[in-house]
Amino acid sequence: MPVQEGKAVGGFVVHEAAADIELRIGRAMPELPAAVDREVERLWQAASRRVAAGGAGRMFNGRVFSADAITPHLVTGHLTEYRRVVAQMERPSLFAELGVRSFAVCGMLRCIGGVVVGRRHRAANYQAGMWQLAPAGSVDAGAVRTDGTVDIRRQLLHELHEELGLPPDAVNEPQPLCIVEHPGSHVSDLGLALVTGLGAEAVLSAYKAGGNSEYEQLLVVSEARLTEFLAEMGEALVPPAREFLSRAGLIAPAVTE
C-alpha cells in the first residue's frame, strides 16, 4: 500500500489539493481472499440491518472511488464495492487487507446569510448524528468518464441537487480546498468551496421542497457566528469541516501536529 503524503492536523491527515486536481482510475478492483470476503459480507449484512432498523433507508452495494495515491494535482485509484467501504468502517483493522481509501466530495456552501451545515441522520452508517458542511457524498461510478477520469464537480453538483434541492446553476464553479483523510476509516473528503447568490431563506426553502432525508436538520450559520457555533458543536461536528472553513479563511487555522 503506497505511503500517502500529508500533514497531521487534529489527528487527521490533510493533503493539498490544487485548483486543477484530477481523479483517475488506475486499476481494477482487486480480488479478495475467500475468508476476507466472507468477513466483509458479514459486516456488510450487519450494518445494513442496523441502518434499515434505524430508519435511515436501505444501503446499496454500488461502486465508489477509492484512492490509491494522493498528490495535489492527481489522485489515482480504483472503483470498489461499497460493502468493502462499510466493512472497513466497521472494522478499521481491515485496511491492511482491503486498502480502501473511499473518496467523497464535501461542499462548503456559502449563501447570503452564512454557511450551510446539516446534521446527519442518527441511524446513518458513518458519523451518525454528527454535523457537517453540506452537500456531501461519495464519488461513485456515475462520475467516471469514458477516458477513466472522474468528474468530481459533477458529483458535487449532483449531491447539491439531491440533498438540498438546489440546481447546478444556483452556484458558482466549485473550487478545491484540500483533502482530509480519516486515520481510522481512511475516508478521504475533498472539500470544495461553493457560493450561491441565494439567501438563507431561499436555500432552506429549496431543501424543504426538494431535498432528501440525508440530514435530520439543516441550518445556515452566519459567518460572524461560525467560531461560536463550532465551539458549541465540539465533537459533534465532523473534523474535516473545521479544516475546510479554515482554508476558506472563515475561521482561524487549526494547529498542525
* Closest residue by Cα to residue 159 from 199, 197, 214: 214
Its CATH architecture, for the domain 7-247, is: Alpha-Beta Complex (3.90)
pLDDT in tens, 140-159: 999 999 999 999 999 999 99
pLDDT at 176 over 70: yes
Q: Residue 5's pLDDT band (boundaries 50, 70, 90)?
A: low
Q: Residue 2's pLDDT band (boundaries 50, 70, 90)?
A: very low
- What one-character-per-residue DSSP string does 48-110 give? HHHHHHTTS------EEEEEEEE-SSEEEEEEEEHHHHHHHHH-GGGHHHH---BEEEEEEEE
Where in the chain are the domains?
A: 7-247
pLDDT in tens, 190-200: 999 999 999 99
Asked if 102 and 128 touch (Cβ cutoff 8 Å), the reply is no
Q: Report the predicted TM-score, pTM, of the whole model to 2 decimal places.
A: 0.92
- With cell 484540500, the residue in question is 178
CA atoms within 13 A on the CB side of 233: 22
CB within 8 A of 178, min separation 6: which ones? 14, 15, 16, 17, 190, 191, 243, 244, 247
